[in-house]
A and B are shown apart, each in its own frame.
Chain A
Amino acid sequence: MTLDKCNRGEKLRILRIPDDQIRLQAIRLGVCEGATLVCSIKLPKGPIVLQNRMQEIAIGRKLAEQIEVENVKQ
């Protein structure tokens, strides 16, 4: 599924980030393909906030639609 389909509180594994620039910047912030993170906030029609320990990243909805993720059973 894509990131915009996730629900708040779900644990997700990042499968694919298609945009080259974003993918490199994401790696620096701790979000690389294969990383597991928690969706800590999902704003209505707005950004999705992913959390990895104390690190949080906000991702706009349009970008979230392009990022492929899978659910990780807790």
Chain B
Amino acid sequence: MDEVFFASYNGGVWPVAAHHNPTAALEVQGEGRKIVLAGNPNVGKSVFFNALTGMYVDVSNFPGTTVDITHGKYLDHAVIDTPGVYGVSSFNDEERVARDVILYGDMILNIVDASHLERDLFLTQQILDMGKPMVIALNMMDDVDRNGFHIDVQRLSELLGVVVIPTVAVSGAGMNDLKEALAQARSGKRMDMVEDYMAQVLPLVDEPSEALLVLEEDENILARHHITSAPKVQEKLYTERRHWIDAIVEEVVVQDHRNARFKVKLGHWMIQPLTGIPMLLAVLWLMYQAVGVFVAQTIVEFTEGLIMGTYYINWVTALTAPYLSDQTLLGKLLMGEFGVLTMTPVYVLGLLMPLVVGFYLFLSVMEDSGYLPRVATLVDRLLNGLGLNGRAIIPIILGFGCVTMATITTRILGSKRERFIATMLLGLAIPCSAQMGVIAGLIAPLGTKILVIYVVTIFMVFALTGTLLNKLLKGESTALFIDIPPLRIPRIKNVLRKTWNKSLMFLKEAAPLFALGAVIITLLEVSSLLDGMITFFTPFTRDFLRLDPQVTQAFVMGIIRRDFGAAGLNTLASQGLLSPMQLLVSLVAITLFVPCAAAVIVIFKERSWQESAAIWIGSFVISFLTAGLLAQIVL
């Protein structure tokens, strides 16, 4: 699988020539070395990365994965960040990417969470078993002090055979010592069992680091070197390593009076239904108030109404007026009602951008605080009914940000069956932040009753579709099995950086599609095809959906992006063409409508074409069927 994603990548910094070794493309001069940052998830690696490299960094995405690799420079050295992983192997995309960066780096800076030694040292020892020169940053030492226990750092260093520097990265403590220690990186102690087997496999590979993964039966490494017969000792090595690490922890963690402190208790409250459900509802309500009400109304009124809708429009109109007549086709394409220079920037920057930023702020806080895995545990049982396990809450929540990104994230799910169900539910019933923002802005003034009908309808479609798919699809879904990291107060800098990156990604993806949609709509209008379509669908829109026939226009827009369609409804509503109940019906239809063009492209890439077509057509049918039924009831 990784064979494909490296070989197929022919742009950016990882050329095809790099083959399996993604670090080969990075140039270092003189004494410079390739320093690879490695560690478990959420140990603060990015803080170390920033401390070493400063501001100038490159981010490159591995195509076909959601995995970004960040690299920068420290003195003459190249510094490469890796995704957080629990070990070097091939269980998922993150691990495959981390594996290839670690395998071929010159030295490893291993970041270890001091309060999580028994988990983190497994990766440490595995990299030592590869024979890689290493320095360890024993991070979050403040947590250790606060929890009332001590770590014998000197002894830990002796047992592992490498330098260990205690740090509190966020406050900068220990960072200078660490920089000095980088020069003392050395290969630590391999486990005896690894030494015993090493001679047998070393001749089969190019690098000693690969030899370990041959012993650990890594299928990609075996395939790369065409190895068919090697000792199969993965489980033996894993178990031995586990016992060795447990013994180390037993020896170096000197005191252990950890009582259930407040953080641990709070973490438990988040998982237990009695306390966890009200907490989850409170978080969702807060999010709705902040993004759906405050941003969607107050902020957007300012950004869309004033900045973009007035200042920008006046400016761009004055700028183009001498050259463009609004009677010509070009004039209509650029400056008309759905113009590329008028509607597109106003919607994208004025309306959608504030909503997307607001949403990602929340999401980043949830991610960094360790709340998401607890929600996954809390909702596991509910999702079991839909043929999913608790982990699926991650793509679902991400879907409220951007369905396209969430669709790629369905890869974390354990089986094909789960990935199909999750993709279908995302494409059908999860409105992305942009769309939700427009919808929230439209629905909030209509009162609580309509909001409740809307939410209940969408939720019922979501639950029914999942339940049916679970009943109809063959096979079994996998069970939940996740690490629950300690709760942490998110770092503002980190949250802002994530929000910025994700919002930028949204902008890059949505703006061209929006412009394309605008062009298509203008062309349809100019050629009076739009009127033809409106007339053609009138029996359906007027009699079945009981709406003004003009809504066809919004649905045509919705095929490009659902939020574009919702924005079209916004226009119709402001023209007084839709009563509150009609607005409700059309909002239900547009929410359940086909996923946006970008998401459709990703769905076709990720799933088979039969499955993708089923998702697209299914959304169409379910959307109008639900809206029509609702119309018969409320109108």
Contacts and interface: CB of A to CB of B under 8 A. Distances in A.
B483 interface: yes
A59 B246 CA distance: 21
Interface string B615-635: 000000000000000000000
A46 B381 contact: yes
A28 B238 CA distance: 8
Q: For chain B, what secondary structure do more than half of its interface residues adopt (helix, strand, loop), or is it mixed?
A: helix
A58 B483 CA distance: 6
B86 interface: yes
A49 to B, nearest CB: 6
A58 B381 contact: no
A26 B235 CA distance: 11
Contacts of A61: 380-381, 384, 479
Contact of B486 (A49, A52, A54): A54
Given A53-B258, A60-B389, A43 B482 contact: no
B273 interface: yes
A1 interface: no
A38 B389 CA distance: 23
Contacts of B381: 43-47, 61
A54 B481 contact: no
Contacts of A60: 380, 384, 389-390, 479-481
Contacts, number: 119
B86 A28 contact: yes
Interface in B477-494: 479-484, 486
B420 interface: no
Given A30-B242, A58-B482, A59-B480, A53 B384 contact: no
Interface in B245-279: 246, 256, 258, 264, 267-268, 271-273
A33 to B, nearest CB: 8
Interface string A17-35: 0000111111111101101
A21 B267 CA distance: 27
Contact of B271 (A28, A32, A41, A64): A41
A24 B119 CA distance: 13
B77 to A, nearest CB: 29
A24 B234 contact: yes
Interface residues of A, number: 34
Interface string A54-68: 111111111110000
A35 B250 CA distance: 13
A40 interface: yes
Main SS at interface, chain A: mixed
Given A23-B235, A24-B235, A46-B380, A41 B118 contact: no
Nearest to A22: B481
A56 B487 CA distance: 11
Contacts of B486: 54
B91 interface: yes
A73 to B, nearest CB: 20
Contacts of A33: 239
B118 A30 contact: yes
B122 interface: yes
B169 interface: no
Contact of A57 (B242, B378, B390, B482): B482
Given A43-B378, A60-B390, A24 B268 contact: no
Given A46-B380, A47-B381, A53-B118, A27 B238 contact: yes
Contact of B272 (A30, A43, A52, A64): A43
A28 B216 CA distance: 13
Given A40-B268, A43-B273, A53-B258, A27 B380 contact: no
30 contacts: A24-B234, A24-B238, A28-B86, A28-B87, A28-B119, A28-B122, A28-B123, A29-B86, A29-B483, A30-B118, A30-B246, A41-B272, A43-B272, A43-B273, A43-B377, A46-B377, A49-B268, A49-B271, A52-B118, A54-B116, A54-B258, A54-B486, A56-B484, A57-B484, A58-B482, A59-B479, A60-B389, A60-B390, A60-B480, A61-B479
Ranked nearest first, the 5 interchain pairs of A and B with the lowest CB-CB distance are A60-B480, A60-B479, A63-B479, A46-B381, A56-B484
